Amino acid sequence: VNQDNTAPSPAPGQRWASNLEPELGLGIIQSTESQSVVVSFPACEEIRRYARESSPLYRVCFQSGATVRSKEGIDCTVTNVSESDGLLTYHGENITLPEQELHASMTDRSPVERLLQGQTTDNDLFELRLNAMNMMFHWRKSPVRGLFGGKIELIPHQLFIAHEVSRRQLPRVLLADEVGLGKTIEACLILNQMIVSGRVNRVVILLPNSLVNQWFIELLRRFNLWFSIFDEERCCAIETCQPGFNPFEDDQLLIADIDWLSKSTKRMEQVVQAPWDMLIVDEAHHLEWNPEKPSAKYQLTQALGQRAGSLLLLSATPQQLGLESHFARLHLLDPTRFSNFAAFKDETDQYKPVANLCKKLIDNESLNIEELQHFPCPESLLSKATLELAKSNKLTTQTRDKLIRDLADRHGTGRVLFRNTRKTIHGFPRRLAKLHPLPPTNRASSNDIGQAEFAFDIGLAKTEP
């Protein structure tokens, strides 16, 4: 290709290009006047008017051997060029291509050719694009990406849990903070971070009917996440418009009433068949379970949890219905780790002495070598800690942290269960109990457990049941 500087005045239909703005592509002359020329640039859908005496335009003429492309995207090698009434026609093997039919996005000069001809521009646009790309790069690798930006006042314990959980590849955890400490906000922060980072696209949230609208409003108002509320009426409407189509594949972000889904065999099958990246279940202590016959809600959650890579369960009272029910929820999160209730019960009985030792580590209290021998940790770490105690009667901060992390990784539910209480989280208003006696029922054991847990939550009891 070359620039024809000897060409006469522009004529309609000819292809011209801009020296100053090559990104406009190939222009086509629409009309000419005595003082100006009007050029259309189809590649960017723009029409420009230039002064004839000082325009930055040049005539585009491809020479033999050049490769040109038609509007249909067909490439051909030019073997001959003919001209008629000022318009060029390119001839190739078995093809004839008028210049009006050239592809608008073609470039007639490479960057090297423009540089050699001195056709350079200032760096403002390049620097602007480079700065934008650098800012995007730093934002994408930021550890708080997706955790900031919501219309909420971040509280340290909520930010810690959200950051700890969301950095896992496939988070499967039970959020069990006491009532009022922000489990919903924690779950929304985790969800928002994973959506922003592109790790999840399809999310389903199962809730009691009384919480459906509350979650919908919180997600929209605080995080600008548009979820669709699914019910029987919506599913029927989708099936009417698209017969044979799974209605739960109509949207990416769904909220549904778990009671409605668990009572409909058809809807249960459909929602389980749809692909999901994340499942969130609030009020998870209502998922009743027994080894012989789990409830429909539990079976639904189990099936969806196996389908989705990430699972968040929310419950303010994880042990309200006893240790067996607590095990059932942990089994949903990690069926391999929590596979047998009898083994889990035996392991739980051994948690208390280890927990007491771990509390001493967290509170930076002194330990002796005899106590240290009860730590179920690797021999290498135990030997290092024993040596430190023998030398200085205290452990270094690094060794304490390693012991705590190792205990959390190997024993108990430290990596799948997060629970904060009002005794450890300050700044929340005190809860005052106003007790009202209820008539006795046959479920005295469950009532006793619930009353004991409530007494601990409000500070009337010192030990957690």
Share of the chain above pLDDT 70, in %: 86
Tell me how far CA of residue 33 lies from CA of 7, 37, 49, 56, in angstroms: 17, 6, 10, 17
Tell me how far CA of residue 134 lies from CA of 129, 131, 324, in angstroms: 9, 5, 52
Is there a contact between 95 and 67 (Cβ–Cβ < 8 Å)?
no
Would you place residue 28 in the very low, low, confident or very high pLDDT band (cuts 50, 70, 90)? very high
HSE (side-chain half, CA atoms, 13 Å) at 342 = 0
Would you place residue 113 in the very low, low, confident or very high pLDDT band (cuts 50, 70, 90)? low
d(CA 323, CA 345): 8
Q: What is the average per-residue pLDDT within 176-185? A: 85
**pLDDT exceeds cutoff 60 at 5:** no
**208-238 pLDDT, tens digit each:** 999 999 999 999 998 899 999 999 999 999 9
Bridge partners, 421 (sequence order): none
Is there a contact between 189 and 432 (Cβ–Cβ < 8 Å)?
no
SS3 of 367, please?
coil
pLDDT at residue 446 in the model: 60
Would you place residue 269 in the very low, low, confident or very high pLDDT band (cuts 50, 70, 90)? very high
Structure tokens at 121: 């521009």
Q: Model pTM?
A: 0.62
When the pLDDT of each residue in the chain is averaged and rounded to a whole number, the result is 82
Would you place residue 3 in the very low, low, confident or very high pLDDT band (cuts 50, 70, 90)? very low
pLDDT at residue 441 in the model: 62
Is there a contact between 2 and 63 (Cβ–Cβ < 8 Å)?
yes
CA angle 244, 245, 248 (to 5 degrees): 140
Q: What is the average per-residue pLDDT within 231-259? A: 92
pLDDT at residue 2 in the model: 46
Would you place residue 357 in the very low, low, confident or very high pLDDT band (cuts 50, 70, 90)? confident
d(CA 452, CA 465): 6
The dihedral sign for the CA sequence 114, 117, 119, 122 = positive
Question: In order of start, what are the domains of the chain with their CATH numbers?
Answer: 14-120 (2.30.30.140), 151-337 (3.40.50.10810), 347-411 (no CATH)
Would you place residue 197 in the very low, low, confident or very high pLDDT band (cuts 50, 70, 90)? confident
Q: What is the average per-residue pLDDT within 191-217? A: 92
Is there a contact between 277 and 202 (Cβ–Cβ < 8 Å)?
yes
SS3 of 292, please?
coil
Is there a contact between 205 and 255 (Cβ–Cβ < 8 Å)?
yes
d(CA 407, CA 404): 5
pLDDT at residue 238 in the model: 93
**Going by C-beta distance under 8 Å and a sequence separation of 6 or more, which residues neighbour residue 113?**
none
**53-85 pLDDT, tens digit each:** 888 888 888 888 888 888 888 888 889 999 988
**pLDDT exceeds cutoff 90 at 272:** yes
**pLDDT exceeds cutoff 70 at 387:** yes
Helix (H) or strand (E) holding 164: helix 156-166
**295-348 pLDDT, tens digit each:** 899 999 999 999 898 999 998 887 666 778 888 888 888 888 888 878 877 777
149: left (phi over 0), alpha (psi -120 to 50) or beta: left
Q: How many residues does the chain have?
A: 465
Q: What are phi and psi of 3, to 5 degrees?
A: -100, 120
For the sheet with 46-51, list strands across it.
Answer: 2-3, 57-61, 15-18, 27-32, 36-41, 46-51
d(CA 244, CA 246): 7
SS3 of 216, please?
helix
**86-104 pLDDT, tens digit each:** 899 999 888 899 998 998 8
**Going by C-beta distance under 8 Å and a sequence separation of 6 or more, which residues neighbour residue 14?**
28, 29, 59, 86, 87, 88, 99
**395-435 pLDDT, tens digit each:** 777 777 777 677 665 555 657 888 877 777 777 777 777 88
**pLDDT exceeds cutoff 70 at 109:** no
Tell me how far CA of residue 290 lies from CA of 77, 325, 327, 341, in angstroms: 75, 8, 10, 11
Q: Both ends of the chain: CA-CA distance in Å?
A: 85
